[in-house]
C-alpha cells in the first residue's frame, strides 16, 4: 500500500515539474540564440581579428597558412613583407588566418581552422606589421 502511495506522489511531482523544465529549456535556447546574435553584431560593429591559438602545433599552423594563402594573397608574410618578422609559424599563421577571415566577411566560422583560430577585439598589429581590418 505504501508503495502505491509513493508512486502516486512521485507521478504528481513529476507532472508538476514539467512546466518548469519546459520554461527552463526555452530560456536556455533563447539565451544561446541571443549570445550568438550578440557575438555576430559585436564582431561586426567593432574591430575583430583572427589569430592563431598559441597552443597550436607547428604542423597545424603550416596547414592553416597553406589553406589561407591558397585563397588570398599572403605576400606580407614572405621575406621582405611587412609581417615577415618575427619569422615564426605562429606569427605567419596569425597573419594569414586574419587575411582569410577579413576577406570572407569576418564571420566567426571563417576563423575556426579546426579549432586553432581565435577571434580577438584587440588589434594584434605590431611594429610595421599592420593586421588587416575591413
15-68 pLDDT, tens digit per residue, is 555 555 555 665 666 655 655 555 444 444 579 999 999 999 999 999 999 999
pLDDT of residue 41: 43
Distance CA 96, CA 75 (A): 9
pLDDT tens figures, 94-127: 999 999 999 999 999 999 999 999 999 999 999 9
Residues 71 and 40 in one domain: no
pTM, rounded to two decimals: 0.67
Residues 59 and 106 in one domain: yes
Residues 30 and 58 in one domain: no
Domain of 113 in residue numbering reads as 47-120
* Rounded alpha-carbon distances, angstroms, from residue 79 to 30, 62, 83, 106, 125: 49, 16, 9, 27, 18
**131 assigned to some structural domain:** no
Residues 54 and 115 in one domain: yes
pLDDT of residue 44: 45
Residues 59 and 114 in one domain: yes
Residues 110 and 71 in one domain: yes
Residues 1 and 39 in one domain: yes
The C-alpha cell of 41 is what?
Answer: 553584431
Answer whether 83's CB lies under 8 Å from 129's CB.
yes
pLDDT of residue 14: 52
pLDDT tens figures, 71-83: 999 999 999 999 9
**130 assigned to some structural domain:** no
Residues 54 and 99 in one domain: yes
Amino acid at each position: 500500500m505504501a508503495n502505491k502511495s509513493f508512486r502516486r506522489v512521485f507521478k504528481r511531482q513529476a507532472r508538476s515539474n514539467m512546466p518548469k523544465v519546459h520554461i527552463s529549456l526555452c530560456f536556455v535556447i533563447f539565451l544561446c540564440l541571443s549570445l550568438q546574435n550578440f557575438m555576430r553584431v559585436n564582431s561586426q560593429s567593432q574591430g575583430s581579428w583572427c589569430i592563431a591559438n598559441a597552443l597550436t602545433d607547428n604542423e597545424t599552423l603550416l596547414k592553416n597558412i597553406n589553406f589561407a594563402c591558397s585563397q588570398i594573397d599572403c605576400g606580407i608574410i614572405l621575406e621582405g613583407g611587412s609581417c615577415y618578422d618575427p619569422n615564426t609559424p605562429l606569427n605567419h599563421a596569425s597573419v594569414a588566418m586574419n587575411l582569410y577571415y577579413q576577406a570572407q566577411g569576418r564571420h566567426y566560422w571563417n576563423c575556426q581552422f579546426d579549432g586553432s583560430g581565435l577571434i580577438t577585439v584587440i588589434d594584434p598589429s605590431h611594429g610595421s606589421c599592420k593586421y588587416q581590418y575591413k
